[in-house]
Amino acid sequence: MRNRVISISFLVGGASIAAVVVLALILGSQIAAEAVQNRGIKDKRNDKLMAVEDLNKVKTIPKSNNKDQRTTFWKED
């Protein structure tokens, strides 16, 4: 009986360690994906918007005919 309890406790401990490792990998992949997306924000369009003094006069219109669905920015006159 004692050997069985010790074996089960080792199995439960190993399973909990495996669960922690899996969750850490998931969290790490989410952090990596967020970093990639944040780097993607800082492109030419970001520089173009930062150059505009009054962002209230900027319109954003999604291009429906473009394959990558990028947004066009222009300043309203």
Q: Render pLDDT for 56-68 as a digit per residue (tens, 0 to 9).
A: 766 666 655 555 5
Domain boundaries, the chain: 2-75
Q: Render pLDDT for 12-64 as a digit per residue (tens, 0 to 9).
A: 999 999 999 999 999 999 999 998 887 777 766 677 777 777 767 666 666 55
3-state secondary structure 6-75: HHHHHHHHHHHHHHHHHHHHHHHHHHHHHHHHHHHHCCHHHHHHHHCCCHHHEEEEECCCCCCCCEEEEE
**pTM listed for this prediction:** 0.52
Which residue, 33, 38, 35, 76, is CA-closest to 57? 76
Rg (CA), the chain: 25
